């Protein structure tokens, strides 16, 4: 999966990353068949993670509007046991949250032992939206890259495996997805005129993402830039990275109680 990994100290230019890159699968059919195998394996590994109760896994999903975070969660995690998987979404901070440091609301949602937690948006909003909309001066948000690296290092040193995915779509694909929301009555609830205002800031968001990806991809919390114009390919890449990472944890089921073979249930 080094294809889409951002090595530490890399200067990211998103124009150099193809949102329709085809390297992992030659066709939609091939990708979907491999995804079926991967989601089945992910279900097995998640059960093992939960049973062993030793590791924690944090998955961060970030994207431009319409980038496919919800769809990724639905398709990649469809075979897992909800008992051991949580999804945390971070919207506009509440008054209480604003009265604390910006990471306060995030830390309580990090995974416990045996859990996978998916951040649908995350602490990175504080160097993305905050930067683009000038919600804090540059001297404030520019310090946050180091804060975030230190926060993620703390989690990693305490046993959390961190995988961060930027779902990379083109401006053209975003326009297509926004039009689809307008054309289908069942999708109207997902459309907001604010989406168009945010689209006008495409270049500003691109610069903000490039900075975040460049400054916060580390050995202990790597970023992956996922080609996401084609949903089926996006799902394949994300599932492949997660399964590969879980396989490397070398997990095992806890040993059974002694003399189970002598128990007779009448």
Cα distance between residue 168 and residue 228, in whole Å: 5
Within 10 angstroms of residue 195's Cβ, the number of other Cβ atoms is 15
Q: Are 76 and 235 in contact (CB under 8 A)?
A: yes
Angle, helices 144-157/202-216, rounded to nearest 10 degrees: 50
- Closest to 117 (Cα-Cα) out of 144, 82, 65, 168: 82
Question: Which residues make Cβ contacts (< 8 Å) with residue 121, sequence separation at least 6?
Answer: 61, 62, 69, 89, 90, 91
Q: What percent of the chain has pLDDT over 70?
A: 100
Cα distance between residue 216 and residue 172, in whole Å: 27
**Over 90: is that where the pLDDT of 221 sits?**
yes
Q: What is the mean pLDDT of the chain?
A: 95
Q: What is the mean pLDDT of residues 159-173?
A: 98
pLDDT of 144 reads 98
**Over 80: is that where the pLDDT of 204 sits?**
yes
The CATH H-level superfamily of 5-172+205-248 is: P-loop containing nucleotide triphosphate hydrolases (3.40.50.300)
DSSP SS3 for 208: helix
- pTM as predicted: 0.95
Within 10 angstroms of residue 166's Cβ, the number of other Cβ atoms is 27
**Over 90: is that where the pLDDT of 259 sits?**
no
Q: What is the mean pLDDT of residues 206-210?
A: 98
Cα angle 208-211-213, degrees, rounded to a multiple of 5: 105
Q: Are 119 and 61 in contact (CB under 8 A)?
A: yes
DSSP SS3 for 136: coil
**Over 90: is that where the pLDDT of 138 sits?**
yes
pLDDT of 19 reads 98
Sole residue written with tokens 């993670």: 49
**Over 90: is that where the pLDDT of 97 sits?**
yes
- Closest to 193 (Cα-Cα) out of 208, 210, 211, 178: 178
Q: What is the DSSP string of 137-171?
A: -HHHHTTHHHHHHHHHHHHHHTTEEEEEEEEE--H
pLDDT of 195 reads 87
- Over the stretch 46-69, which tens digit does the pLDDT of each residue have? 999 999 999 999 999 999 999 999
Q: What is the mean pLDDT of residues 18-41?
A: 94
3-state per-residue secondary structure call for 44-92: HHHHHHHHHCCCEEEEEEEECCCCCHHHHHHHHCCCCCHHHEEEEECCC
**Over 90: is that where the pLDDT of 262 sits?**
no
At residue 187 the predicted structure's pLDDT band, cuts being 50, 70 and 90, is confident
- What does the domain layout of the chain look like in residue ranges? 5-172+205-248
Cα distance between residue 187 and residue 178, in whole Å: 10
Cα distance between residue 65 and residue 217, in whole Å: 22
């Amino acid at each position: 999966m080094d294809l889409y990994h951002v090595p530490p100290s890399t200067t990211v230019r998103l124009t150099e990353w193809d949102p329709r890159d085809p390297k992992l699968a030659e066709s939609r059919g091939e990708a979907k068949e491999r995804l079926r195998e991967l989601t089945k394996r992910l279900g097995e590994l998640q059960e093992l993670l939960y049973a062993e109760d030793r590791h924690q896994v944090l998955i961060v999903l970030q994207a431009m509007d319409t980038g496919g975070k919800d769809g990724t969660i639905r398709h990649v995690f469809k075979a897992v046991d909800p008992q051991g998987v949580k999804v945390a979404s971070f919207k506009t901070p509440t008054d209480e949250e604003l009265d604390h440091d910006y990471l306060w609301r995030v830390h309580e949602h990090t995974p416990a032992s045996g859990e996978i937690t998916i951040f649908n948006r995350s602490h990175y909003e504080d160097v993305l939206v905050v930067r683009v909309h000038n919600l804090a001066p540059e001297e404030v948000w520019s310090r946050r890259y180091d804060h975030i690296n230190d926060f993620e290092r703390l989690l990693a040193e305490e046993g959390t495996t961190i995988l961060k995915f930027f779902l990379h779509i083109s401006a053209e694909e975003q326009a297509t997805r926004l039009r689809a929301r307008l054309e289908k009555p069942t999708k109207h609830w997902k459309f907001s005129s604010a989406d168009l205002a945010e689209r006008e800031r495409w270049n500003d968001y691109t610069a903000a993402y490039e900075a975040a990806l460049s400054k916060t991809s580390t050995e202990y919390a790597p970023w992956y830039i996922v080609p996401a114009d084609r949903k089926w390919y996006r799902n394949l890449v994300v599932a492949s990275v997660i399964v590969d990472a879980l396989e490397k944890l070398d997990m095992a089921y806890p040993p059974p109680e002694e003399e189970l073979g002598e128990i007779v249930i009448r």
